[in-house]
Amino acid sequence: MSVWNPENIKDVAESVGITSLSDDVLSALSSDVEYRLSQVLDEAFKFMRHSKRTTLSTHDISNALRILDIEPLYGYESTRPLRFGEASIGPGQPLFYVEDEEVDFEKLINAPLPKVPREISFTAHWLAVEGVQPSIPQNPTTADSRNQELLPKGQGANSTLAAISGNDSVTVKPLVRHILSKELQLYFEKVCSALLDESNDEYRVAALASLRSDPGLHQLVPYFVQFVAEKVTHNLKSLFVLTQMLQLTSAMLDNDSLHVDPYVASIVPPVLTCLVSPRLGSSSNRLEPYPLRALAASLLGFITQKYAKSSHTLKPRLARTCLKHFLDPNKPFAVHYGAILGLQAVGGREAVRVLVLPNLKDYGKLLQEAIEGNGPAKADAEMAVGAVLGVLERLEEAKGAKMTNGYAVDEQENSRLVEKVGELLAARILGLGRPHLVQAVLGD
């Protein structure tokens, strides 16, 4: 049984042209109206309580309607409490209305006129004369200067609140919800210094081993994530620092007692930077950064395997990023190398078959031009060829056991292979002497 009178529903329906409503419909609408009103009132009471008031105002109702995505009422905003009067328009039909304030015209006419506002004007005065501030009303006095010194300073200081409270110092509450103990702070500093100490291998191994097994480091996870991001951003020329940051990330991911899921979105960018950044390291040896890219690809595959279920968009986004760098001919071959390994690590054999293999014919032409040109990019192109052959081996693994001895690739398969991956990559694949790999690439 609804508290709301069904007759009110019937009156509203008749006012909009609906004359025939059954009793069941009226009862259902009454219950719904009662539920909606209680919902609005509950939200309005929340606004009232949070405003430290005991009287419900029209502002609370308007805010509640806005929160519930309902068009607010217009014309009822008022700074004073509304007084409702009651009038009867028939037997049992009361009408409530807002009483208007009665204004006495005699008092209004005899009341003194308000002061005329002053016109806007500009004046000039001396702030200081030869370093000395003159004592005039426009300049602050010595007492004002002393009061200004008592105001809180620094980030988060609110001079208005300080003035209201009598210019007393205000203690700003830190934004961090938890305070690290001195032991954790010392542990964080020791681990960071150990990882960046290039002369003490034993110290670094012990720090990484502690990160992999210690169960009480959950409060330090955001600090380690921020530390990795900062070091990777500012040390792209130091392969040692980049390698240690990847080792630190791997150690955190290996620790099953740490809840790293909320920080995966912050962990992935430094790993991608080490994977597909155009310039890594400052050495003249172009092949030196490649182990770092391989380590980043392996770590990216581990992240995808461990957190793909909790983050459904993680795997597609990583594959899309790697594919974008792989298909960009303006990127250096070192970036292509990392992108190819990243695609294989993120998507496995299916990514190699769907994303890498269809683009190898055009990519083979790009590699062939660089290798035949004997320029500085030849070594990088050879590394990219090795990455392509390495990921194609995953297709061979899917075929199962090796084929019987004595099988040779015929001319038809040879021409199909050249049509599939280009002359350079076809020659390299045939040079391995593995017919099973040829059939895996051809999809036979």
The predicted structure's pLDDT at residue 48: 93
Q: What is the mean pLDDT of residues 311-340?
A: 90
pTM of structure: 0.58
Which two structure tokens, joined as six digits, stand for 232?
Answer: 């990777």
Query: Of 229, 280, 217, which is closest to residue 253 (Cα–Cα)?
Result: 217
Rounded distance between C-alpha atoms, residue 151 and residue 169, angstroms:
6
Name the residue with higher pLDDT: 119 or 150: 119
- What's the helix, strand, coil split of the chain in %, to 5? 60, 5, 40
Rounded distance between C-alpha atoms, residue 127 and residue 253, angstroms:
62
C-alpha dihedral, 333 to 336 to 340 to 346, nearest 10°? 140
Rounded distance between C-alpha atoms, residue 232 and residue 223, angstroms:
14
What percent of the chain is predicted at pLDDT more than 70?
86
Query: Of 85, 81, 84, 24, which is closest to residue 54 (Cα–Cα)?
Result: 81
The predicted structure's pLDDT at residue 170: 47
The predicted structure's pLDDT at residue 273: 92
The predicted structure's pLDDT at residue 146: 54
What percent of the chain is predicted at pLDDT more than 90?
23
pLDDT above 60 (res 311): yes
Concatenating the DSSP letter of every residue in 381-426 gives HHHHHHHHHHHHHHHHHHT-SPPPTT----HHHHHHHHHHH-HHHH
What mean pLDDT is reported for the chain?
81
**Model confidence pLDDT, tens digit, residues 180-223:** 788 888 999 999 999 998 888 888 999 999 999 988 888 889 99
Concatenating the DSSP letter of every residue in 251-290 gives HHHH-TTS--GGGHHHHHHHHHHHHH-S---S-S-TTTTH
Model confidence at 404, pLDDT cuts 50, 70, 90, reads very low
Name the residue with higher pLDDT: 397 or 168: 397
The highest-confidence range among 66-75, 107-116, 289-298, 346-355, by mean pLDDT, is 289-298
CB 395 within 8 A of CB 368: no
